[in-house]
Structure 1
Amino acid sequence: MLLTVHQLPFDVVHLQALLFSIMPVLWIAHEKKIKKNPKIVHTYLATTIDIHLGKQGIPLELQGLISDRYKGEPIYVVAKNDVELAKILMFLDIVTSIARKKFGSTAKVESAIPVDMRLLSMKEDLDLKFDKKYREKKLRKRGKKPLTLDDIINSEDILNSIAAKIAISSGTNVTREDVKKMIKEYIPYIKRIADAYPEDPSFYDKIMQIPDLPDLERDIKPLNPEIYNAVEALAEKLKEDLKAPEPVQEKIRSQTKTSPIDLSKAKLEVLSILNGLEFAGFSDDAKTKAIEKLSAKIAELSSGGLTQGRVFEMGLYAFALEMIRAGKFERLREVERL
């Protein structure tokens, strides 16, 4: 006879809850609309946007890879559906990234989530993740509802909380009002990107099937020109706000003998592979595919002319390859600090 989790002894239930709490499903989509994990969809889109902005000399450095924990505690954010969850992640990623550049903030997506948006409880892990009716009951009891991006940007309380959390991790002269003003300035640009996210699941399937990382102009624009145009509008705002026009950067690079090595693309690719491994539960099949992908990257780079940049990229891919072979997945997190 197959026992349900509620029929198991008390201590076994809590042991299973503890084990399941490690699984990367703590950002909860209340309703499924797309086949792909919205966190991985966000990683792909954020990485694509970040590379596109970098080509224009805009060093935004989106986080892309979002963790399920903050200071060891699980994060529960219940979105209305997985498309809304991807939108919420993009909103939080863009505003925290701008704050890091503009205010010297150390905030990340995980640290900026206010209590207003969270459901925290280790004991409720199993039911919150896997039982939709239980989630509905808990949300009603706590006077909450599954969130949409509009809920967040139209709530002064939530925006105040996000701004306060970012301000705390910023320079000493940065106030909550400074951060909130910045967030409100960028809401129209972020909302335009989010509004272009289609409900049609085929779009997300197509971008996830693109080899390597998608290129915004080459791959995303033909599928969804609205997203491309929205990102271009954001780029114009960022150029003005972050004061990083491309011609000046290119001139500095050409005049500097020891130019810094740009590892942003390789770094994001390694982190994207790690995210995929986590989602697959570090299965043998996922590890084999990751090793094959990294080996192909090294072979591709070594077949071209040797430059400092290529050497550093090959080194990063080789490091990731060895850590996966050795099963030392936690060491791949060190890439985030590069």
Structure 2
Amino acid sequence: MSRLTRRAVLAGAMTLPALARAQGTWPQGIIRIVVPFPAGGSVDAIARLVQPDLQKRLGVTVLVENRGGASGSVGAAAAAKAAPDGNTWLFVFDTHAVNPTLLPSLSFDSEKDLDPVLLIGTAPNLLATHPSRPYRTLADVIEAAKAKPGGLTYATIGAGSLGHLTMVLLAKRASVSLAHVPYRGGGPAVNDAIGGHVDLIIGSAALLANQVAGGTLRPIVQTGEKRHPAIAAVPTVTESGFERFVSNAWWGVFGPAGIPKPIQERFRAELIAVLRQPEIAARLTEGQTMELALGGPEELRAFFKEQMTVWGAVVRENAIKSDT
């Protein structure tokens, strides 16, 4: 006997006439954007940036709901279990592709219970150091790590974060050992980095951009496929001798599986229109060092599967455990 999927159960619970009514009258009621992280992070910033104009364009109340916990999986679970009526949407960060492997006890299926809607954009990660440290290039870091195995420390926003996985992969390719210092969020990690309590910090360029611009941190290398214009003076890992080494932070939008296609298309179109507004686009591309993708469901689906494959392998091969 085949197992009932969540999609089938919801399809039975929400009959075709009910779906037709929802489709015909949407939007109505309150629309929730679930942000699976506390206020203050990049996902929250994007949601609150688009909320006012999205609300105007849709003509209904749009609320940003922070549901943090377990690397974003608590909020994602809440969205996955919501009714597919177009009134609940999930904004995610790159941890969304790591969690299926890092957190095997997830209460939902990331691919079956959530439909991809929009790939907002990507941004490189940035490896930086305190100005008092002697490291100016990736070669300097590797040389120091070889001279003192396990002696160099690097901060991340947490165990299993993309920054952590990126450094694990880089250390492996460079045949060096580095000491990971996980923090519970970007704020504490940045504070200790600018205080000189760790040798290095890795995080999205958005997280470290202000400190780099202000001189409290010195950038060493960025992890995008090519140099981001906002940090064009910083070389890529590939340029630094590690061919095809790419690690991008990314932001996307999902919805509960089964939202009628016309509703998905309307929400995506309105959201793209807001994101393309010059002032908002500039804040994302310059302030968040983001490259806007604005890719549709199939582009996000393919990108998400690729990210799960790449970083899931790093988690498994290195027996990485979450600190949540």
| Greater strand content | 2
Q: TM-score, normalised to structure 1's length?
A: 0.27
Structure having greater relative contact order (Cα 8 Å, sep ≥ 6): 2
Q: TM-score, normalised to structure 2's length?
A: 0.28
